[in-house]
Amino acid sequence: MDIRELSLPGVFRVTPTKHADHRGHFYEAFKREKLAETIGRPLTIEQTNCSVSRRGTIRGIHSASVPPGQAKLISCLRGAIIDIVVDIRVGSPTFGKYEVNWLDGHSGSAVYMAEGLGHAFLALTDDTCVNYQCSTPYQPDIELHVNPLDPELALPWGLTEPPIISAKNANAPTLAEAADKGILPTWDDCLALYEKLGAPA
Protein backbone atom coordinates (compact mmCIF):
# COMPACT_ATOMS: atom_id res chain seq x y z
CA MET A 1 0.00 0.00 0.00
CA ASP A 2 1.00 3.61 -0.52
CA ILE A 3 0.69 6.03 2.42
CA ARG A 4 1.39 9.72 1.94
CA GLU A 5 1.01 12.76 4.16
CA LEU A 6 -1.39 15.42 2.92
CA SER A 7 -1.36 19.19 3.43
CA LEU A 8 -2.44 19.14 7.10
CA PRO A 9 0.04 17.84 9.70
CA GLY A 10 -1.19 14.47 10.92
CA VAL A 11 -3.39 13.62 7.91
CA PHE A 12 -2.42 10.76 5.58
CA ARG A 13 -4.08 9.07 2.61
CA VAL A 14 -3.78 5.30 2.44
CA THR A 15 -4.07 3.77 -1.04
CA PRO A 16 -4.05 -0.03 -1.17
CA THR A 17 -2.62 -2.22 -3.89
CA LYS A 18 -5.50 -4.19 -5.38
CA HIS A 19 -5.04 -7.73 -6.69
CA ALA A 20 -7.72 -8.72 -9.20
CA ASP A 21 -8.62 -12.00 -10.84
CA HIS A 22 -11.71 -13.71 -12.26
CA ARG A 23 -13.29 -13.84 -8.77
CA GLY A 24 -13.01 -10.12 -8.07
CA HIS A 25 -10.23 -8.39 -6.14
CA PHE A 26 -8.36 -8.42 -2.84
CA TYR A 27 -6.43 -5.74 -0.96
CA GLU A 28 -4.92 -5.06 2.45
CA ALA A 29 -7.05 -2.34 4.07
CA PHE A 30 -4.92 -1.91 7.19
CA LYS A 31 -1.34 -2.89 7.88
CA ARG A 32 -0.26 -1.88 11.39
CA GLU A 33 3.49 -1.96 10.73
CA LYS A 34 3.34 -0.03 7.45
CA LEU A 35 1.12 2.70 8.89
CA ALA A 36 3.23 2.98 12.05
CA GLU A 37 6.40 3.30 9.96
CA THR A 38 4.90 6.23 8.06
CA ILE A 39 3.11 8.15 10.82
CA GLY A 40 5.70 7.46 13.50
CA ARG A 41 3.66 5.33 15.88
CA PRO A 42 1.22 2.42 15.80
CA LEU A 43 -2.50 2.97 15.50
CA THR A 44 -4.05 1.01 18.34
CA ILE A 45 -7.66 0.31 17.38
CA GLU A 46 -9.97 0.37 20.40
CA GLN A 47 -13.30 0.72 18.59
CA THR A 48 -14.68 0.26 15.07
CA ASN A 49 -17.80 2.15 13.97
CA CYS A 50 -19.90 1.99 10.83
CA SER A 51 -22.42 4.59 9.70
CA VAL A 52 -24.95 4.08 6.91
CA SER A 53 -26.27 7.27 5.33
CA ARG A 54 -28.74 8.48 2.72
CA ARG A 55 -27.49 10.53 -0.21
CA GLY A 56 -27.10 14.17 0.81
CA THR A 57 -26.33 13.42 4.47
CA ILE A 58 -23.58 15.41 6.17
CA ARG A 59 -22.07 13.96 9.34
CA GLY A 60 -19.65 16.09 11.40
CA ILE A 61 -17.59 18.12 12.07
CA HIS A 62 -16.69 15.75 14.94
CA SER A 63 -13.67 15.57 17.22
CA ALA A 64 -12.74 14.83 20.84
CA SER A 65 -10.98 16.77 23.59
CA VAL A 66 -7.20 16.33 23.88
CA PRO A 67 -6.13 14.44 25.85
CA PRO A 68 -7.08 11.72 25.14
CA GLY A 69 -8.35 12.69 21.68
CA GLN A 70 -9.21 10.11 19.05
CA ALA A 71 -7.17 9.20 15.98
CA LYS A 72 -9.18 7.67 13.14
CA LEU A 73 -8.67 5.63 10.00
CA ILE A 74 -11.68 6.32 7.79
CA SER A 75 -12.79 4.39 4.72
CA CYS A 76 -15.91 4.10 2.60
CA LEU A 77 -17.03 0.50 2.28
CA ARG A 78 -20.06 1.13 0.05
CA GLY A 79 -21.13 4.12 -1.99
CA ALA A 80 -19.08 7.32 -2.12
CA ILE A 81 -18.33 10.33 0.07
CA ILE A 82 -16.65 13.70 0.06
CA ASP A 83 -14.46 13.34 3.15
CA ILE A 84 -13.13 16.48 4.85
CA VAL A 85 -10.62 16.77 7.68
CA VAL A 86 -10.50 20.21 9.32
CA ASP A 87 -7.66 21.52 11.45
CA ILE A 88 -9.44 22.74 14.60
CA ARG A 89 -6.26 22.75 16.74
CA VAL A 90 -6.02 26.29 18.09
CA GLY A 91 -2.53 27.66 17.44
CA SER A 92 -1.78 25.19 14.65
CA PRO A 93 -0.03 26.70 11.62
CA THR A 94 -2.88 25.29 9.51
CA PHE A 95 -5.76 26.17 11.89
CA GLY A 96 -9.01 26.53 9.92
CA LYS A 97 -7.58 24.80 6.83
CA TYR A 98 -9.04 21.57 5.53
CA GLU A 99 -8.18 18.52 3.46
CA VAL A 100 -10.73 17.10 0.98
CA ASN A 101 -10.69 13.49 -0.24
CA TRP A 102 -13.03 11.44 -2.40
CA LEU A 103 -13.51 8.01 -0.87
CA ASP A 104 -15.61 5.21 -2.33
CA GLY A 105 -16.25 1.52 -2.02
CA HIS A 106 -14.30 0.67 -5.17
CA SER A 107 -10.90 2.21 -4.47
CA GLY A 108 -10.43 0.92 -0.94
CA SER A 109 -8.58 4.12 -0.06
CA ALA A 110 -8.66 5.48 3.48
CA VAL A 111 -7.73 8.64 5.37
CA TYR A 112 -5.80 8.60 8.65
CA MET A 113 -6.23 11.62 10.94
CA ALA A 114 -4.39 12.28 14.20
CA GLU A 115 -5.97 13.29 17.49
CA GLY A 116 -7.31 16.85 17.70
CA LEU A 117 -8.44 17.15 14.09
CA GLY A 118 -12.09 17.49 13.05
CA HIS A 119 -13.85 15.16 10.62
CA ALA A 120 -16.94 15.40 8.42
CA PHE A 121 -18.27 13.83 5.26
CA LEU A 122 -21.07 14.14 2.72
CA ALA A 123 -22.73 10.93 1.45
CA LEU A 124 -22.98 11.03 -2.35
CA THR A 125 -25.10 7.90 -2.74
CA ASP A 126 -27.92 6.20 -0.88
CA ASP A 127 -26.90 3.43 1.50
CA THR A 128 -23.37 4.79 1.83
CA CYS A 129 -21.41 2.88 4.49
CA VAL A 130 -18.44 4.53 6.22
CA ASN A 131 -16.04 2.65 8.50
CA TYR A 132 -14.13 4.35 11.32
CA GLN A 133 -11.22 2.61 13.06
CA CYS A 134 -10.74 4.58 16.29
CA SER A 135 -7.80 4.77 18.70
CA THR A 136 -10.00 5.37 21.75
CA PRO A 137 -13.54 4.30 22.69
CA TYR A 138 -16.43 6.71 22.23
CA GLN A 139 -16.76 9.03 25.22
CA PRO A 140 -19.77 11.37 24.98
CA ASP A 141 -18.45 13.70 27.69
CA ILE A 142 -15.41 14.71 25.60
CA GLU A 143 -16.93 14.83 22.10
CA LEU A 144 -16.67 18.11 20.20
CA HIS A 145 -18.85 19.45 17.40
CA VAL A 146 -18.27 22.27 14.91
CA ASN A 147 -20.91 23.32 12.40
CA PRO A 148 -20.14 21.76 8.98
CA LEU A 149 -21.97 24.64 7.28
CA ASP A 150 -19.88 27.34 9.02
CA PRO A 151 -19.88 30.14 6.41
CA GLU A 152 -16.37 31.26 7.34
CA LEU A 153 -14.96 27.76 6.88
CA ALA A 154 -16.91 27.48 3.61
CA LEU A 155 -16.24 23.77 3.18
CA PRO A 156 -16.57 22.76 -0.50
CA TRP A 157 -19.56 20.44 -0.22
CA GLY A 158 -20.88 21.36 -3.67
CA LEU A 159 -24.46 21.15 -2.42
CA THR A 160 -27.29 21.52 -4.93
CA GLU A 161 -30.03 20.99 -2.32
CA PRO A 162 -30.30 21.30 1.47
CA PRO A 163 -28.34 18.54 3.20
CA ILE A 164 -29.71 16.00 5.65
CA ILE A 165 -28.10 16.88 8.97
CA SER A 166 -28.68 16.14 12.65
CA ALA A 167 -29.98 18.83 14.98
CA LYS A 168 -26.79 18.53 17.04
CA ASN A 169 -24.60 19.28 14.03
CA ALA A 170 -26.91 21.98 12.67
CA ASN A 171 -26.84 23.78 16.05
CA ALA A 172 -23.13 23.30 16.66
CA PRO A 173 -20.98 26.42 17.04
CA THR A 174 -18.90 27.79 14.19
CA LEU A 175 -15.16 27.30 14.40
CA ALA A 176 -14.69 30.86 15.65
CA GLU A 177 -17.41 30.47 18.27
CA ALA A 178 -15.93 27.17 19.48
CA ALA A 179 -12.49 28.78 19.70
CA ASP A 180 -13.91 31.72 21.66
CA LYS A 181 -15.54 29.29 24.12
CA GLY A 182 -12.19 27.57 24.67
CA ILE A 183 -13.58 24.11 23.86
CA LEU A 184 -11.23 23.22 20.99
CA PRO A 185 -7.98 21.25 21.26
CA THR A 186 -4.85 23.38 21.29
CA TRP A 187 -1.84 22.79 19.07
CA ASP A 188 0.44 22.65 22.13
CA ASP A 189 -1.73 20.00 23.82
CA CYS A 190 -1.78 17.97 20.60
CA LEU A 191 1.99 18.21 20.15
CA ALA A 192 2.48 17.06 23.74
CA LEU A 193 0.18 14.09 23.12
CA TYR A 194 1.89 13.21 19.83
CA GLU A 195 5.28 13.30 21.55
CA LYS A 196 4.01 11.13 24.38
CA LEU A 197 2.61 8.61 21.91
CA GLY A 198 5.77 8.66 19.80
CA ALA A 199 4.48 10.61 16.80
CA PRO A 200 6.73 13.07 14.95
CA ALA A 201 6.01 16.76 15.57
CA nearest to 32, candidates 10, 3, 8, 63: 3
Give yes or no for a contact between 51 and 129, defined as CB atoms under 8 angstroms apart: yes
- H or E element in which residue 131 lies: strand 128-134
Tell how far CA 77 is from the center of its chain: 15
Q: How many CB atoms lie within 10 A of CB 23?
A: 6
Residue 62 appears among annotated catalytic residues: yes
| Rounded distance between C-alpha atoms, residue 139 and residue 65, angstroms | 10
Q: How far is CA 181 from CA 98, 138, 139, in A?
A: 21, 23, 20
Angle at 111 between CA 140 and CA 106, to 5 degrees: 115
One of 62, 98, 112, 194 is an active-site residue; which one?
62
CA nearest to 110, candidates 26, 31, 19, 41: 31
One of 98, 112, 132, 194 is an active-site residue; which one?
132
Q: Which residues are catalytic?
A: 62, 132
